[in-house]
């Protein structure tokens, strides 16, 4: 899978756990907590969703590395 | 035989709009079953039935706005005969809906056929059956709408807003929620003599406990600091019973055996809801965490239950992991206490005669002075603080 594929998966799961976010309005550098308003429970739900979909186990210390779509697609490319 | 009526889903609720029936005549129902969905100012709420029986007749029409107490359905209790008026009970046939519309506005054309439970939505936009029905009647293409309901669902009001040539007479769902919060908070500040006690609490033991515990676990078993706060507040409320219950105008304080801890959840679209974690007192820490995740997920999807909206006995409002350090909250009536918890901040802290950096949170307990006094509030905080020192016991 390419980084673009991972970005698409990340965005799809992000919008599934936060259905009020319109994926078309999410910028590559948007921070999921500071800009998109996810709380810590939403972030955990996102990590669970990525784990279920891709089998990737993102430890808590790595959460900053999935904080934006760009960071996340890069992280997922390296770790899935 | 009993009449199942529109329940009150909050002290400030006057009416709700019936948007979905999940049962039909002839269905057996059991206490606690979700039987219908009602749109309120706080979004779509699943309403439960509180007796066992068989649905005899559906009285309320989809899309109608009904006051609290309005009859929705006739439910035949176990073993009871149908009423004499129904000469030939044919439970498979839906009854004729009442024709007297609650308002003068022309009602949309009645659907030609009985409405069975709609199939689960597949790739269609999320919308209530009533919203779809109204969209058909008004000629609105529902796929072009952006829902403003919890979870992005398209609400009846969104359809009415989008209808061509129709003045936007009704405020949007977000404005409706703002009004509901305004009513509840104004009532709280007008009727509840609040008093407040605060304490700053070292949470490094709790953070270390969670880091250690979560390190080896898959994501769905990890626990957040917020769950420790909810668990500690639940145990403190079970001990200091004067913080756990409802204040009813003509009865005074009615303590609750069960601790149903409300969890304040902010909505990105604005506003907040505080659904209760039912019987949190009997949960383990892991169950508390799982229950909170479920509440957040269902809040985002707009699928909370009526009991969760009305049966909370104390509320925890936590500012999360970043942000302001303290919050003095407003009690959610008819409850009598609210636990406000600021975000953890790194501060110089004295531990065994040395100043060390520690993560601390400031807890502020808002309590109802008609029911409790400073001593009891201090006791609640002491129990909470003690539990945060030994998180493995939570």
Segment B116-143, tens digit of pLDDT:
444 444 456 678 778 888 888 777 888 7
DSSP string across A1-67: --HHHHHHHHHHHHHHHSTTS-GGG--TT--TTTTT---HHHHHHHHHHHHHHH-----GGGGGGGS
Q: In this structure, are residues B193 and B370 in contact, taking their beta carbons and an 8 Å threshold?
A: yes
pLDDT at B81: 62
Judge whether B202 lies within some domain. Answer: yes
**Residues in chain A within 8 Å Cβ distance of B211:** 60
Shortest CA gap B322–chain A (Å): 10
Q: How big is the CA angle at B263 (ends B287 and A53), to the nearest 5 degrees? A: 55
pLDDT at B175: 83
pLDDT at B305: 93
Is A44 within 8 Å of B150 when comparing Cβ atoms?
A: no
Least confident of A44-53, B240-249, B264-273, B373-382: B264-273
pLDDT > 90: percent of chain A: 76
CATH of the domain at B27: 2.40.50.100
Q: Would you say residue B94 has pLDDT above 60?
A: no
CA distance B174 to B345: 32
- Pair (B216, B356) in one structural domain: yes
pLDDT at B261: 98
pLDDT at B134: 80
pLDDT at B118: 44
Judge whether B331 lies within some domain. Answer: yes
The total number of residues shown for chain B amounts to 394
pLDDT at B83: 55
Q: Would you say residue B1 has pLDDT above 70?
A: no
Number of domains in chain B: 2
The ipTM of this complex is 0.88
Is A40 within 8 Å of B297 when comparing Cβ atoms?
A: no
pLDDT at B253: 98
B30 touches chain A (CB under 8 A): no
CATH topology (fold) of A3-79: 1.10.1200
**Residues in chain A within 8 Å Cβ distance of B292:** 41
Identify the helix (H) or strand (E) that includes residue B247.
Answer: strand B245-248
Q: Would you say residue A45 has pLDDT above 90?
A: yes
Judge whether B367 lies within some domain. Answer: yes
Neighbours of B81 (CB within 10 A): 9
Q: Would you say residue A22 has pLDDT above 90?
A: no
**Residues in chain B within 8 Å Cβ distance of A36:** 268
- Pair (B199, B343) in one structural domain: yes
B320 touches chain A (CB under 8 A): yes
pLDDT at B170: 65
Q: In this structure, are residues B63 and B134 in contact, taking their beta carbons and an 8 Å threshold?
A: yes
Shortest CA gap B393–chain A (Å): 22
Identify the helix (H) or strand (E) that includes residue B245.
Answer: strand B245-248
- Pair (B66, B198) in one structural domain: no
**Residues in chain A within 8 Å Cβ distance of B224:** 40-41, 44
Average pLDDT score, chain B: 85
Judge whether B186 lies within some domain. Answer: no
Q: Output the CA–CA distances (angstroms, integers) from residue B138 to A66, B152, B157, in the order listed.
A: 44, 21, 12
pLDDT at B39: 86
pLDDT at B106: 42
pLDDT at B113: 44
Is A48 within 8 Å of B220 when comparing Cβ atoms?
A: yes
Domain boundary among B77, B96, B121: B77
Searching chain B, which residue's CA lies closest to the CA of residue A55? B218
Q: In this structure, are residues B262 and B315 in contact, taking their beta carbons and an 8 Å threshold?
A: yes
Domain boundary among B45, B77, B109: B77
Residue B55: burial class (beta carbons within 10 Å; 0-12, 13-18, 19+)? buried
Domain boundary among B77, B100, B115: B77
Q: Tokens standing for B56? A: 């005899």
Q: Domain of residue B365: give its range.
A: 192-393
């Amino acid at each position: 899978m390419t980084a673009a594929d991972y970005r698409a998966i990340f965005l799809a799961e992000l919008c599934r756990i936060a259905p009020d976010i319109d994926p078309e309005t999410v910028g590559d550098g948007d921070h999921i907590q500071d800009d998109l308003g996810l709380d810590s429970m939403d972030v955990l739900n996102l990590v669970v969703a990525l784990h279920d979909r891709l089998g990737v186990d993102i430890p808590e210390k790595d959460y900053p590395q999935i904080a934006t779509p760009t960071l996340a697609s890069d992280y997922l490319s390296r770790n899935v | 035989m009993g009449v199942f009526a529109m329940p009150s889903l909050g002290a400030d609720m006057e009416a709700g709009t019936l948007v979905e029936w999940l049962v039909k005549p002839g269905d057996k129902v059991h206490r606690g079953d979700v039987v219908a969905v009602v749109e309120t100012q706080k979004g779509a709420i699943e309403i439960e039935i509180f007796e066992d029986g068989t649905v005899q007749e559906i009285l309320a029409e989809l899309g109608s706005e009904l006051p609290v107490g309005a009859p929705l359905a006739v439910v035949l209790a176990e073993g009871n005969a149908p009423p004499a008026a129904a000469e030939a009970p044919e439970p498979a046939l839906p009854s004729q809906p009442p024709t007297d519309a609650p308002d003068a506005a022309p009602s949309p054309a009645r659907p030609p056929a009985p409405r069975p439970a709609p199939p689960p939505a597949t790739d269609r936009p999320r919308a209530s059956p009533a919203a779809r029905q109204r969209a058909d009647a008004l000629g609105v293409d529902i796929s072009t709408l952006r829902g403003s309901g919890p979870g992005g669902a398209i609400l009846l009001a969104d359809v009415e807003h989008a209808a061509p040539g129709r003045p936007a007479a009704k405020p949007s769902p977000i404005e409706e929620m703002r009004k509901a919060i305004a009513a509840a908070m104004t009532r709280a500040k007008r009727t509840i003599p609040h008093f407040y006690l605060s304490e700053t609490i070292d949470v490094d033991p709790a953070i270390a406990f969670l880091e250690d515990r979560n390190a080896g676990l898959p994501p769905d078993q990890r626990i957040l600091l917020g769950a420790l706060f909810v668990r500690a507040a639940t145990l403190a409320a079970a001990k200091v019973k004067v913080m756990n219950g409802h204040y009813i105008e003509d009865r005074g304080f009615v303590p609750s055996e069960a601790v149903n801890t409300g969890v304040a959840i902010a909505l990105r679209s604005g506003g907040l809801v505080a659904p209760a974690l039912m019987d949190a007192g009997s949960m383990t820490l892991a169950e508390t965490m799982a229950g909170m995740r479920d509440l957040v997920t269902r809040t985002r999807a707009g699928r909370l239950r009526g009991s969760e909206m009305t049966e909370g006995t104390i509320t925890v409002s936590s500012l999360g992991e970043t942000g302001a350090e303290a919050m003095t909250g407003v009690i959610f009536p008819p409850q009598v206490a609210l636990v406000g918890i600021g975000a953890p901040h790194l501060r110089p802290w004295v531990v065994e005669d040395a100043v060390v950096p520690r993560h601390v949170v400031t807890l502020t307990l808002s309590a109802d002075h008609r029911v409790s006094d400073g001593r009891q509030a201090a006791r609640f905080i002491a129990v909470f603080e003690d539990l945060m020192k030994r998180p493995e016991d939570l």
